[in-house]
């Protein structure tokens, strides 16, 4: 890839992360407004309780993929970092395959669930009935993006030479 393409990708990724950060922030603001309404004005709308949860889940699911390549997920690296050469590459490949399998299973099961929600016209009953598939579709979408990033990570692992000990210096 050229530097121009990499730069464009990084800009798109940055905007994607900023957008979902704003979605999360909006959820926090709605939650804060709901607390104020409940405490000060003694009223609350049930949607104001659910919307922050939905927005938070959407933000987390849509960011799961992009942060995978940056190594931002929680992981236990003691064994992996202690080895190098072929054993390290094998461990990395196994990790990638497990990640891809996890993402694919959750994507597929999420798709099945969303299909059923849509087919049976399931709703989340609040002051405004909300189609359940509209809220829950973030799971198969987010995990599909996660799986694509896991495939990209597998490609990186296959191209990486782990012959020398990793440099963990800061």
Question: 115 in a domain, yes or no?
Answer: yes
Q: What are the tens digits of pLDDT across the range 34-55?
A: 999 999 999 888 888 899 999 9
Q: In terms of residue numbers, what domain contains 128?
A: 3-159
The reported pTM is: 0.83
Q: Could you give the number of structural domains in the chain?
A: 1
Burial of 163 (0-12, 13-18, 19+ CB in 10 A): exposed
Question: 167 in a domain, yes or no?
Answer: no
**Residue 83 and residue 91 in contact, taking contact as beta carbons nearer than 8 Å:** yes
**Residue 141 and residue 58 in contact, taking contact as beta carbons nearer than 8 Å:** no
Neighbours of 19 (CB within 10 A): 13
Question: 82 in a domain, yes or no?
Answer: yes
Question: 13 in a domain, yes or no?
Answer: yes
Alpha helices by DSSP H, listed for the chain, are 3-40, 46-69, 78-82, 86-119, 132-136, 138-159
Stronger pLDDT, 123 or 165, i.e. the higher one = 123
């Amino acid at each position: 890839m050229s530097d121009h393409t990499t730069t464009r990708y990084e800009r798109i990724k940055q905007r994607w992360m900023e957008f979902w950060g704003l979605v999360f922030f909006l959820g926090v603001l709605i939650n804060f407004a709901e607390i104020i309404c409940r405490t000060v004005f003694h009223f609350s709308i049930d949607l104001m309780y659910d919307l922050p949860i939905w927005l938070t889940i959407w933000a987390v699911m849509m960011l799961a993929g992009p942060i995978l390549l940056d190594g931002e997920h929680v992981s236990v690296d003691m064994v992996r970092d202690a080895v190098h050469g072929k054993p390290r590459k094998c461990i990395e490949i196994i990790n990638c395959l497990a990640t891809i399998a996890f993402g694919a299973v959750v994507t597929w099961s999420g798709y099945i669930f969303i299909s059923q929600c849509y087919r049976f016209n399931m709703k989340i009953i609040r002051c405004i009935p909300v189609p359940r598939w509209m809220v829950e579709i973030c799971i198969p979408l987010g995990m599909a993006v996660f799986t694509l990033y896991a495939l990209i990570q597998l490609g990186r692992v296959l191209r990486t030479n782990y012959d020398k000990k990793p440099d963990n210096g800061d």
